Amino acid sequence: MRTLVEGARLVVPMDDARSRWPGGFVVLEDDRIVQAGPGPVPADVVADRRIDASGKVVLPGFVNTHHHLPQVLTRNVPRVQEAPLFRWLTELYPVWRGWDAAAVETAASVGLAELLLTGCTTTTDHLYLFPRGQELLIDAEIAAARGLGIRFHPTRGSMSRGRSQGGLPPDDVCQDEATILADCRRLIREYHDPRPRAMTRIALAPCAPFSVSDDLMRRTADLARENGVRLHTHLAETKDEEDYCLETYGCRPVEYVRRLGWLGPDVWLAHCVHLDADEVRLFAETGTGVAHCPTSNFRLGSGLAPVRALLDAGAPVGLGVDGSASNDSSNMLAECRQALLAHRPGADPSRWLTAEDVLWAATRGGARCLGRDDVGSLEPGKAADLVLIDTRRLSYAGGSSDILAALVFTPWPEPVDTVIVNGTVVVEDGRISSLDVAALVDCADAISEGLLRSASRATGIDYLAKDRR
Ligand SMILES: [Zn+2]
Protein backbone atom coordinates (compact mmCIF):
# COMPACT_ATOMS: atom_id res chain seq x y z
CA MET A 1 0.00 0.00 0.00
CA ARG A 2 1.49 3.30 -1.13
CA THR A 3 0.22 6.45 0.58
CA LEU A 4 0.93 10.00 -0.52
CA VAL A 5 0.57 12.85 1.96
CA GLU A 6 0.54 15.89 -0.28
CA GLY A 7 0.12 19.62 -0.49
CA ALA A 8 1.05 20.36 3.13
CA ARG A 9 1.27 23.91 4.33
CA LEU A 10 4.60 22.86 5.80
CA VAL A 11 6.45 19.57 6.21
CA VAL A 12 9.00 19.61 9.02
CA PRO A 13 11.02 16.40 8.76
CA MET A 14 13.17 17.03 11.87
CA ASP A 15 16.23 15.95 9.87
CA ASP A 16 19.80 16.92 10.73
CA ALA A 17 19.61 19.83 8.28
CA ARG A 18 16.58 21.12 10.21
CA SER A 19 14.71 21.44 6.90
CA ARG A 20 11.33 23.06 6.45
CA TRP A 21 9.41 22.23 3.28
CA PRO A 22 6.52 24.52 2.34
CA GLY A 23 4.06 22.67 0.13
CA GLY A 24 5.87 19.46 1.02
CA PHE A 25 4.91 15.80 0.63
CA VAL A 26 5.66 12.42 2.20
CA VAL A 27 5.34 9.04 0.48
CA LEU A 28 4.73 5.94 2.58
CA GLU A 29 5.12 2.33 1.50
CA ASP A 30 3.30 0.17 4.04
CA ASP A 31 5.04 0.75 7.38
CA ARG A 32 7.89 2.97 6.17
CA ILE A 33 8.66 6.31 4.60
CA VAL A 34 10.13 6.02 1.11
CA GLN A 35 10.30 9.64 -0.02
CA ALA A 36 9.75 13.12 1.40
CA GLY A 37 10.55 16.61 0.25
CA PRO A 38 9.36 20.09 -0.64
CA GLY A 39 6.53 20.38 -3.11
CA PRO A 40 5.41 19.89 -5.75
CA VAL A 41 5.11 16.09 -5.76
CA PRO A 42 7.31 14.58 -8.50
CA ALA A 43 5.28 13.45 -11.50
CA ASP A 44 6.41 9.81 -11.20
CA VAL A 45 4.93 9.30 -7.71
CA VAL A 46 1.95 6.94 -7.85
CA ALA A 47 -0.19 6.18 -4.82
CA ASP A 48 -3.03 3.88 -3.75
CA ARG A 49 -4.19 6.41 -1.19
CA ARG A 50 -3.80 10.19 -1.14
CA ILE A 51 -4.09 12.31 2.00
CA ASP A 52 -4.69 16.00 1.42
CA ALA A 53 -2.53 17.96 3.87
CA SER A 54 -3.48 21.44 2.69
CA GLY A 55 -3.46 23.94 5.56
CA LYS A 56 -1.65 21.42 7.73
CA VAL A 57 1.77 21.14 9.29
CA VAL A 58 3.20 17.63 8.96
CA LEU A 59 5.65 16.43 11.59
CA PRO A 60 7.09 13.13 12.72
CA GLY A 61 4.95 11.68 15.51
CA PHE A 62 6.04 12.70 18.99
CA VAL A 63 7.88 10.34 21.35
CA ASN A 64 6.86 10.34 25.01
CA THR A 65 9.70 9.17 27.25
CA HIS A 66 8.05 8.83 30.67
CA HIS A 67 4.60 7.87 31.91
CA HIS A 68 2.68 5.86 34.48
CA LEU A 69 -0.55 5.09 32.63
CA PRO A 70 -2.48 3.50 35.54
CA GLN A 71 -2.25 6.80 37.41
CA VAL A 72 -5.04 8.03 35.11
CA LEU A 73 -7.28 6.50 37.80
CA THR A 74 -5.92 8.85 40.50
CA ARG A 75 -5.91 12.25 38.86
CA ASN A 76 -6.19 15.33 41.04
CA VAL A 77 -6.96 13.36 44.20
CA PRO A 78 -7.91 16.07 46.74
CA ARG A 79 -5.75 14.62 49.49
CA VAL A 80 -2.53 15.08 47.47
CA GLN A 81 -3.23 18.10 45.31
CA GLU A 82 -0.74 20.07 47.41
CA ALA A 83 1.67 17.24 48.26
CA PRO A 84 5.35 17.05 47.32
CA LEU A 85 6.68 13.75 45.96
CA PHE A 86 7.33 11.66 49.07
CA ARG A 87 4.00 12.49 50.74
CA TRP A 88 2.20 12.18 47.40
CA LEU A 89 3.66 8.69 46.93
CA THR A 90 3.06 7.59 50.50
CA GLU A 91 -0.60 8.58 50.34
CA LEU A 92 -1.22 7.15 46.87
CA TYR A 93 0.39 3.71 47.39
CA PRO A 94 -2.70 2.50 49.33
CA VAL A 95 -4.92 3.52 46.40
CA TRP A 96 -2.72 2.03 43.70
CA ARG A 97 -2.60 -1.19 45.71
CA GLY A 98 -6.18 -1.84 44.55
CA TRP A 99 -5.73 -1.85 40.79
CA ASP A 100 -6.01 -5.00 38.69
CA ALA A 101 -5.52 -5.88 35.02
CA ALA A 102 -8.95 -4.57 33.96
CA ALA A 103 -8.35 -1.25 35.74
CA VAL A 104 -4.91 -0.91 34.19
CA GLU A 105 -6.18 -1.70 30.71
CA THR A 106 -8.89 0.95 31.06
CA ALA A 107 -6.45 3.56 32.37
CA ALA A 108 -3.94 2.73 29.65
CA SER A 109 -6.63 3.14 26.99
CA VAL A 110 -7.39 6.64 28.30
CA GLY A 111 -3.77 7.74 28.50
CA LEU A 112 -2.73 6.22 25.20
CA ALA A 113 -5.72 7.74 23.40
CA GLU A 114 -4.84 11.17 24.81
CA LEU A 115 -1.28 10.72 23.60
CA LEU A 116 -2.43 9.78 20.09
CA LEU A 117 -4.86 12.68 19.95
CA THR A 118 -2.05 15.09 20.81
CA GLY A 119 0.32 13.76 18.16
CA CYS A 120 2.29 11.11 20.04
CA THR A 121 3.02 7.94 18.07
CA THR A 122 5.59 6.26 20.36
CA THR A 123 5.33 6.12 24.11
CA THR A 124 6.91 4.38 27.01
CA ASP A 125 5.32 3.48 30.33
CA HIS A 126 6.79 2.73 33.74
CA LEU A 127 4.68 0.33 35.80
CA TYR A 128 6.31 -0.55 39.11
CA LEU A 129 3.51 -1.41 41.54
CA PHE A 130 2.16 -4.94 41.25
CA PRO A 131 -0.42 -5.77 43.94
CA ARG A 132 -0.32 -9.35 45.22
CA GLY A 133 -1.63 -11.74 42.58
CA GLN A 134 -1.58 -9.11 39.83
CA GLU A 135 1.34 -10.18 37.68
CA LEU A 136 -0.11 -9.40 34.26
CA LEU A 137 -0.54 -5.63 34.39
CA ILE A 138 2.00 -4.85 31.68
CA ASP A 139 0.32 -7.45 29.49
CA ALA A 140 -2.91 -5.47 29.99
CA GLU A 141 -1.18 -2.25 28.92
CA ILE A 142 0.25 -3.93 25.85
CA ALA A 143 -3.25 -5.14 24.93
CA ALA A 144 -4.52 -1.55 25.20
CA ALA A 145 -1.64 -0.23 23.07
CA ARG A 146 -2.20 -2.85 20.41
CA GLY A 147 -5.91 -2.11 20.39
CA LEU A 148 -5.24 1.57 19.73
CA GLY A 149 -2.29 1.10 17.39
CA ILE A 150 0.35 3.18 19.20
CA ARG A 151 4.03 2.18 19.25
CA PHE A 152 4.75 1.08 22.81
CA HIS A 153 7.81 0.65 25.03
CA PRO A 154 6.50 -0.54 28.41
CA THR A 155 9.14 -0.79 31.10
CA ARG A 156 8.99 -3.51 33.76
CA GLY A 157 9.23 -1.50 36.95
CA SER A 158 9.85 -2.90 40.40
CA MET A 159 9.89 -2.15 44.09
CA SER A 160 11.70 -4.56 46.41
CA ARG A 161 12.68 -2.46 49.42
CA GLY A 162 9.71 -1.65 51.63
CA ARG A 163 9.49 0.29 54.85
CA SER A 164 10.85 -2.55 56.99
CA GLN A 165 14.11 -2.31 55.01
CA GLY A 166 14.37 1.47 55.01
CA GLY A 167 12.50 2.07 51.75
CA LEU A 168 9.51 4.34 51.16
CA PRO A 169 6.69 2.00 50.00
CA PRO A 170 4.69 -0.32 52.28
CA ASP A 171 6.09 -3.86 52.28
CA ASP A 172 2.96 -5.38 50.75
CA VAL A 173 3.35 -3.53 47.44
CA CYS A 174 6.93 -4.74 47.06
CA GLN A 175 7.90 -7.98 45.36
CA ASP A 176 10.77 -10.32 46.04
CA GLU A 177 13.69 -9.98 43.69
CA ALA A 178 13.50 -13.46 42.17
CA THR A 179 9.87 -12.82 41.18
CA ILE A 180 10.77 -9.45 39.65
CA LEU A 181 13.66 -10.79 37.59
CA ALA A 182 11.65 -13.81 36.43
CA ASP A 183 8.88 -11.53 35.21
CA CYS A 184 11.41 -9.26 33.45
CA ARG A 185 12.67 -12.33 31.59
CA ARG A 186 9.12 -13.41 30.73
CA LEU A 187 8.16 -10.01 29.31
CA ILE A 188 11.32 -9.78 27.20
CA ARG A 189 10.71 -13.29 25.89
CA GLU A 190 7.04 -12.73 25.11
CA TYR A 191 7.01 -9.18 23.81
CA HIS A 192 10.39 -7.58 23.07
CA ASP A 193 10.85 -7.05 19.33
CA PRO A 194 14.33 -5.78 18.36
CA ARG A 195 13.54 -5.52 14.63
CA PRO A 196 13.37 -2.18 12.80
CA ARG A 197 9.99 -0.46 13.05
CA ALA A 198 9.02 -2.75 15.96
CA MET A 199 5.72 -1.80 17.61
CA THR A 200 6.58 -3.27 21.05
CA ARG A 201 9.83 -3.15 22.96
CA ILE A 202 10.44 -3.89 26.62
CA ALA A 203 12.82 -2.03 28.95
CA LEU A 204 13.66 -2.74 32.60
CA ALA A 205 13.01 -0.09 35.22
CA PRO A 206 13.43 -0.45 39.00
CA CYS A 207 11.38 2.37 40.51
CA ALA A 208 13.85 4.65 42.30
CA PRO A 209 16.81 4.65 44.71
CA PHE A 210 14.38 4.76 47.65
CA SER A 211 12.40 1.64 46.74
CA VAL A 212 14.82 -1.03 45.45
CA SER A 213 18.07 -2.59 46.68
CA ASP A 214 21.54 -2.07 45.19
CA ASP A 215 21.58 -5.71 44.32
CA LEU A 216 18.37 -5.48 42.29
CA MET A 217 19.73 -2.43 40.44
CA ARG A 218 22.88 -4.38 39.50
CA ARG A 219 21.10 -7.57 38.57
CA THR A 220 18.53 -5.68 36.50
CA ALA A 221 21.31 -3.93 34.57
CA ASP A 222 23.03 -7.28 33.93
CA LEU A 223 19.78 -8.84 32.74
CA ALA A 224 19.01 -5.89 30.44
CA ARG A 225 22.46 -5.96 28.89
CA GLU A 226 22.37 -9.74 28.38
CA ASN A 227 19.12 -9.28 26.46
CA GLY A 228 19.86 -6.05 24.59
CA VAL A 229 17.04 -4.10 26.25
CA ARG A 230 17.23 -0.63 27.76
CA LEU A 231 17.27 0.61 31.35
CA HIS A 232 15.11 3.28 32.90
CA THR A 233 14.40 4.67 36.37
CA HIS A 234 13.59 7.88 38.22
CA LEU A 235 16.59 9.91 39.34
CA ALA A 236 17.42 13.16 41.10
CA GLU A 237 13.76 14.16 41.09
CA THR A 238 13.62 15.95 44.46
CA LYS A 239 15.81 17.35 47.20
CA ASP A 240 14.25 14.72 49.50
CA GLU A 241 15.69 12.02 47.25
CA GLU A 242 19.09 13.69 47.31
CA ASP A 243 18.97 13.81 51.12
CA TYR A 244 17.86 10.17 51.21
CA CYS A 245 20.81 9.10 49.02
CA LEU A 246 23.30 11.16 51.05
CA GLU A 247 22.03 9.60 54.28
CA THR A 248 21.60 6.04 53.00
CA TYR A 249 24.42 5.69 50.46
CA GLY A 250 26.74 8.54 51.41
CA CYS A 251 26.62 10.07 47.94
CA ARG A 252 24.40 12.00 45.56
CA PRO A 253 21.87 10.11 43.37
CA VAL A 254 23.96 10.28 40.19
CA GLU A 255 27.04 8.91 41.94
CA TYR A 256 24.86 6.18 43.44
CA VAL A 257 23.70 4.95 40.01
CA ARG A 258 27.13 5.46 38.46
CA ARG A 259 28.61 2.98 40.97
CA LEU A 260 25.92 0.48 40.00
CA GLY A 261 26.70 0.68 36.27
CA TRP A 262 23.59 2.68 35.56
CA LEU A 263 24.99 5.40 33.30
CA GLY A 264 25.43 4.77 29.59
CA PRO A 265 23.91 5.04 26.12
CA ASP A 266 21.40 2.29 26.95
CA VAL A 267 20.00 4.18 29.98
CA TRP A 268 17.48 7.00 30.13
CA LEU A 269 16.41 8.54 33.42
CA ALA A 270 13.29 10.47 34.35
CA HIS A 271 13.42 13.99 35.81
CA CYS A 272 17.12 14.63 36.65
CA VAL A 273 16.08 17.93 38.22
CA HIS A 274 18.89 18.16 40.75
CA LEU A 275 22.08 17.78 38.70
CA ASP A 276 25.24 19.79 39.22
CA ALA A 277 27.59 20.85 36.40
CA ASP A 278 29.82 17.76 36.75
CA GLU A 279 26.78 15.50 36.59
CA VAL A 280 25.51 17.23 33.45
CA ARG A 281 28.93 16.58 31.87
CA LEU A 282 28.80 12.95 32.96
CA PHE A 283 25.42 12.48 31.28
CA ALA A 284 26.80 13.88 28.03
CA GLU A 285 30.01 11.82 28.20
CA THR A 286 28.18 8.59 28.87
CA GLY A 287 25.25 9.27 26.50
CA THR A 288 22.76 8.83 29.36
CA GLY A 289 19.34 10.17 28.39
CA VAL A 290 16.99 12.41 30.34
CA ALA A 291 13.19 12.33 30.22
CA HIS A 292 12.29 15.95 30.96
CA CYS A 293 8.87 16.19 32.65
CA PRO A 294 8.33 19.88 33.45
CA THR A 295 4.61 19.72 34.26
CA SER A 296 5.04 16.96 36.81
CA ASN A 297 8.09 18.68 38.30
CA PHE A 298 6.04 21.86 38.76
CA ARG A 299 2.97 20.02 40.02
CA LEU A 300 4.98 18.33 42.79
CA GLY A 301 7.16 21.37 43.44
CA SER A 302 10.28 19.35 42.60
CA GLY A 303 12.14 22.00 40.59
CA LEU A 304 13.36 22.39 37.02
CA ALA A 305 15.90 20.18 35.23
CA PRO A 306 18.97 21.91 33.73
CA VAL A 307 17.83 21.17 30.19
CA ARG A 308 19.70 23.98 28.45
CA ALA A 309 22.95 22.79 30.02
CA LEU A 310 22.19 19.16 29.09
CA LEU A 311 21.43 20.12 25.48
CA ASP A 312 24.51 22.31 25.22
CA ALA A 313 26.64 19.45 26.57
CA GLY A 314 25.14 17.05 23.99
CA ALA A 315 23.19 14.75 26.33
CA PRO A 316 20.05 13.09 24.92
CA VAL A 317 16.93 14.88 26.20
CA GLY A 318 13.35 13.79 25.51
CA LEU A 319 10.03 15.03 26.86
CA GLY A 320 7.77 13.07 29.18
CA VAL A 321 4.23 13.77 30.30
CA ASP A 322 4.87 11.60 33.41
CA GLY A 323 2.06 9.84 35.24
CA SER A 324 -1.41 11.26 35.24
CA ALA A 325 -1.47 11.69 39.01
CA SER A 326 1.15 14.42 38.68
CA ASN A 327 0.40 16.07 35.34
CA ASP A 328 -2.72 15.44 35.16
CA SER A 329 -2.92 14.70 31.47
CA SER A 330 -1.12 12.86 28.70
CA ASN A 331 -1.05 15.81 26.33
CA MET A 332 2.23 15.98 24.39
CA LEU A 333 1.56 19.40 22.88
CA ALA A 334 0.80 20.77 26.33
CA GLU A 335 4.09 19.33 27.56
CA CYS A 336 5.91 21.01 24.67
CA ARG A 337 4.47 24.39 25.64
CA GLN A 338 5.25 23.79 29.30
CA ALA A 339 8.88 23.02 28.38
CA LEU A 340 9.04 26.15 26.24
CA LEU A 341 7.88 28.41 29.05
CA ALA A 342 9.37 26.65 32.08
CA HIS A 343 12.97 27.64 31.45
CA ARG A 344 12.32 31.38 31.10
CA PRO A 345 11.55 32.93 34.50
CA GLY A 346 14.71 34.37 35.99
CA ALA A 347 17.00 32.98 33.26
CA ASP A 348 19.06 34.95 30.77
CA PRO A 349 17.11 34.96 27.44
CA SER A 350 20.13 33.40 25.72
CA ARG A 351 19.48 30.29 27.87
CA TRP A 352 15.77 29.94 27.09
CA LEU A 353 14.51 26.94 25.14
CA THR A 354 13.19 27.74 21.67
CA ALA A 355 10.17 26.19 19.97
CA GLU A 356 12.56 24.20 17.79
CA ASP A 357 14.52 22.94 20.82
CA VAL A 358 11.30 21.67 22.31
CA LEU A 359 10.07 19.98 19.11
CA TRP A 360 13.50 18.41 18.67
CA ALA A 361 13.30 16.96 22.20
CA ALA A 362 9.75 15.74 21.52
CA THR A 363 10.88 13.85 18.39
CA ARG A 364 14.59 13.19 17.86
CA GLY A 365 15.59 13.56 21.50
CA GLY A 366 12.90 11.14 22.62
CA ALA A 367 13.83 8.65 19.92
CA ARG A 368 17.46 8.77 21.08
CA CYS A 369 16.40 8.18 24.70
CA LEU A 370 14.49 5.07 23.61
CA GLY A 371 17.37 3.88 21.43
CA ARG A 372 15.39 4.19 18.21
CA ASP A 373 16.97 5.38 14.99
CA ASP A 374 13.83 4.50 13.02
CA VAL A 375 11.40 7.04 14.50
CA GLY A 376 11.52 10.77 15.25
CA SER A 377 12.09 12.08 11.72
CA LEU A 378 10.51 11.96 8.28
CA GLU A 379 13.26 10.39 6.19
CA PRO A 380 13.37 7.46 3.76
CA GLY A 381 13.63 4.14 5.61
CA LYS A 382 12.12 5.42 8.84
CA ALA A 383 8.86 4.19 10.27
CA ALA A 384 5.74 5.82 8.82
CA ASP A 385 4.80 7.77 11.97
CA LEU A 386 3.30 11.18 11.10
CA VAL A 387 1.11 13.80 12.67
CA LEU A 388 -0.90 16.37 10.69
CA ILE A 389 -2.11 19.48 12.48
CA ASP A 390 -4.58 21.79 10.77
CA THR A 391 -3.40 25.37 11.25
CA ARG A 392 -6.74 26.82 10.13
CA ARG A 393 -7.79 27.34 13.73
CA LEU A 394 -8.63 30.59 15.48
CA SER A 395 -5.70 30.09 17.84
CA TYR A 396 -3.17 30.09 14.99
CA ALA A 397 -4.64 33.00 13.05
CA GLY A 398 -2.10 35.78 12.73
CA GLY A 399 0.75 33.41 13.53
CA SER A 400 1.77 32.65 9.97
CA SER A 401 5.14 34.44 10.33
CA ASP A 402 6.36 31.15 11.87
CA ILE A 403 3.63 28.56 11.79
CA LEU A 404 5.90 25.82 13.22
CA ALA A 405 6.61 27.90 16.32
CA ALA A 406 2.87 28.58 16.61
CA LEU A 407 2.34 24.89 17.42
CA VAL A 408 4.39 25.35 20.60
CA PHE A 409 3.71 28.99 21.55
CA THR A 410 -0.05 28.62 21.16
CA PRO A 411 -2.10 26.56 23.60
CA TRP A 412 -2.42 23.11 22.14
CA PRO A 413 -5.08 21.91 19.78
CA GLU A 414 -6.76 18.84 21.05
CA PRO A 415 -7.23 16.75 19.09
CA VAL A 416 -4.72 16.95 16.26
CA ASP A 417 -6.23 16.09 12.89
CA THR A 418 -4.48 13.02 11.53
CA VAL A 419 -2.06 10.58 13.12
CA ILE A 420 -0.41 7.75 11.22
CA VAL A 421 1.49 5.06 13.12
CA ASN A 422 3.54 2.51 11.18
CA GLY A 423 1.59 3.37 8.05
CA THR A 424 -1.85 2.96 9.63
CA VAL A 425 -4.15 5.96 10.06
CA VAL A 426 -5.16 5.80 13.74
CA VAL A 427 -6.53 9.32 14.16
CA GLU A 428 -8.67 10.73 11.36
CA ASP A 429 -10.53 14.05 11.47
CA GLY A 430 -9.45 14.33 15.11
CA ARG A 431 -11.06 11.03 16.11
CA ILE A 432 -10.01 7.49 16.92
CA SER A 433 -12.82 5.70 15.13
CA SER A 434 -12.73 2.57 17.30
CA LEU A 435 -12.99 4.55 20.54
CA ASP A 436 -16.23 5.29 22.42
CA VAL A 437 -14.87 8.14 24.51
CA ALA A 438 -17.92 8.62 26.74
CA ALA A 439 -18.09 4.92 27.62
CA LEU A 440 -14.36 4.81 28.36
CA VAL A 441 -14.55 7.88 30.61
CA ASP A 442 -17.53 6.43 32.52
CA CYS A 443 -15.64 3.19 33.02
CA ALA A 444 -12.46 4.97 34.22
CA ASP A 445 -14.48 7.13 36.61
CA ALA A 446 -16.26 4.14 38.10
CA ILE A 447 -12.99 2.26 38.64
CA SER A 448 -11.35 5.36 40.10
CA GLU A 449 -14.15 5.91 42.58
CA GLY A 450 -14.04 2.26 43.63
CA LEU A 451 -10.28 2.43 44.23
CA LEU A 452 -10.56 5.63 46.27
CA ARG A 453 -13.47 4.34 48.35
CA SER A 454 -11.74 1.09 49.23
CA ALA A 455 -8.49 2.92 50.07
CA SER A 456 -10.51 5.27 52.31
CA ARG A 457 -12.06 2.31 54.11
CA ALA A 458 -8.69 0.57 54.53
CA THR A 459 -6.73 3.57 55.78
CA GLY A 460 -9.30 5.87 57.40
CA ILE A 461 -8.01 8.65 55.11
CA ASP A 462 -10.67 10.49 53.08
CA TYR A 463 -9.56 10.34 49.48
CA LEU A 464 -12.68 11.92 47.95
CA ALA A 465 -13.67 15.57 48.00
CA LYS A 466 -16.31 16.62 50.53
CA ASP A 467 -19.16 16.56 48.03
CA ARG A 468 -18.31 12.99 46.97
CA ARG A 469 -17.97 11.27 50.36
ZN1 LIG B 1 7.59 8.92 37.04
How much is the pLDDT for 414? 76
Yes or no: say if 360 and 340 are a contact pair by the CB < 8 Å rule. Answer: no
Q: 24 in helix, strand or coil?
A: coil
Kindly give the distance from the C-alpha atom of residue 269 to the centroid of ligand 1, in angstroms, as a whole number.
10
The model's pLDDT over 59-106, given as tens digits with 9 standing for 90+, comes to 999 999 999 999 999 999 999 999 999 999 999 999 999 999 999 999
At residue 468, does pLDDT exceed 90? Answer: no
Query: What CA–CA distances, in Å, run from 360 to 12, 127, 345?
Result: 11, 26, 22
Q: How far apart are CA 25 and CA 44, in angstroms?
A: 13
Kindly give the distance from the C-alpha atom of residue 93 to the centroid of ligand 1, in angstroms, as a whole number.
14
Kindly give the distance from the C-alpha atom of residue 271 to the centroid of ligand 1, in angstroms, as a whole number.
8
How much is the pLDDT for 316? 98
Kindly give the distance from the C-alpha atom of residue 67 to the centroid of ligand 1, in angstroms, as a whole number.
6
What is the chain's mean pLDDT, rounded? 97
Query: What CA–CA distances, in Å, run from 68 to 110, 159, 162?
Result: 12, 14, 20
Kindly give the distance from the C-alpha atom of residue 130 to the centroid of ligand 1, in angstroms, as a whole number.
15
Kindly give the distance from the C-alpha atom of residue 323 to the centroid of ligand 1, in angstroms, as a whole number.
6
Burial class (CB in 10 A: 0-12, 13-18, 19+), 414: middle
pTM, two decimal places: 0.98
Could you tell me the pLDDT band of residue 336, with boundaries at 50, 70 and 90? very high
How much is the pLDDT for 411? 86
318, β-bridge pairs? 291
Kindly give the distance from the C-alpha atom of residue 469 to the centroid of ligand 1, in angstroms, as a whole number.
29
228 alpha-carbon distance from chain centroid: 21
Q: 68 in helix, strand or coil?
A: coil
Kindly give the distance from the C-alpha atom of residue 237 to the centroid of ligand 1, in angstroms, as a whole number.
9
> Considering only CA atoms, which of 395, 394, 374 is closest in space to residue 384?
374
Kindly give the distance from the C-alpha atom of residue 24 to the centroid of ligand 1, in angstroms, as a whole number.
38
Kindly give the distance from the C-alpha atom of residue 234 to the centroid of ligand 1, in angstroms, as a whole number.
6
> Mean per-residue pLDDT for 182-207?
98
Neighbours of 171 (CB within 10 A): 12
The model's pLDDT over 250-298, given as tens digits with 9 standing for 90+, comes to 999 999 999 999 999 999 999 999 999 999 999 999 999 999 999 999 9
Kindly give the distance from the C-alpha atom of residue 276 to the centroid of ligand 1, in angstroms, as a whole number.
21
Kindly give the distance from the C-alpha atom of residue 137 to the centroid of ligand 1, in angstroms, as a whole number.
17
At residue 151, does pLDDT exceed 90? Answer: yes
How much is the pLDDT for 209? 85
Instruction: Evaluate the CA torsion angle 17, 23, 28, 34 in order and state its sign.
Output: negative
Kindly give the distance from the C-alpha atom of residue 193 to the centroid of ligand 1, in angstroms, as a whole number.
24
How much is the pLDDT for 182? 98
Kindly give the distance from the C-alpha atom of residue 25 to the centroid of ligand 1, in angstroms, as a whole number.
37
Kindly give the distance from the C-alpha atom of residue 148 to the centroid of ligand 1, in angstroms, as a whole number.
23
Kindly give the distance from the C-alpha atom of residue 84 to the centroid of ligand 1, in angstroms, as a whole number.
13
Kindly give the distance from the C-alpha atom of residue 332 to the centroid of ligand 1, in angstroms, as a whole number.
15
Kindly give the distance from the C-alpha atom of residue 68 to the centroid of ligand 1, in angstroms, as a whole number.
6
Kindly give the distance from the C-alpha atom of residue 162 to the centroid of ligand 1, in angstroms, as a whole number.
18
